[in-house]
Amino acid sequence: MATRKRMSPLAEQILEALEERGYRTTEPRRAVAQVVANQDRHFTAEELRQMLPGLGRATVFRSLKLLVDVGVLCRVLLEDGALHYQMSLRGHHHHLLCVECGISQDLTGCDIEDVLTQTSDRHGFELSGHWLEVYGRCRDCRSKEAVSA
């Protein structure tokens, strides 16, 4: 049996997702999985690269894309257009993004699929997917403002 360095449970889940889809859990991918699993906030590809100084840029970027493809990492588009990443095992979901503190909250389920299907139908358009981010101010930021007012 192959010896494995102890990884966090979340990192193990990332590696399992890779193995389930037939990808080998190479040393670089394991390193990326471990760092990704340790982040409690969304991060950019560049930030991830800086956290993995031992890996080449292309390796980090390819691994990121792979993790998105196998569904353990989701893309988070900030209001300013910056693309971030965040670990997620939820499958299809959307985010509530606070424009003040930057926190991202996952929404469970998707309420807009039916509306989009109807709209697409009206245009003779075959729907293959959608991406939606919701911007605003979170409860914490709103309550801070209420206190200082």
Where does this chain bind Zn ion (CB under 5 A)? 74, 88, 98, 100-101, 110, 138, 141
Closest CB to Zn ion among residues 35, 87: 87
> What are 61-67's contacts with CB under 8 Å, separation 24+?
63/28, 63/29, 63/32, 64/32, 66/18, 66/23, 66/29, 67/14, 67/18, 67/32, 67/33, 67/36
Query: Shortest distance, CB of residue 91 to Zn ion, whole angstroms?
Result: 10
- Reduced to 3 states (helix: H, G, I; strand: E, B; else coil), residue 28 is helix
Alpha-carbon 135 to chain mean position: 16
Both tokens of residue 25?
Answer: 């859990």
Query: Shortest distance, CB of residue 87 to Zn ion, whole angstroms?
Result: 8
Closest CB to Zn ion among residues 48, 74: 74
Most distant CA atoms of the chain, gap in Å? 62
Closest CB to Zn ion among residues 64, 98: 98
Closest CB to Zn ion among residues 28, 144: 144
Query: Shortest distance, CB of residue 71 to Zn ion, whole angstroms?
Result: 11
Query: Shortest distance, CB of residue 53 to Zn ion, whole angstroms?
Result: 27
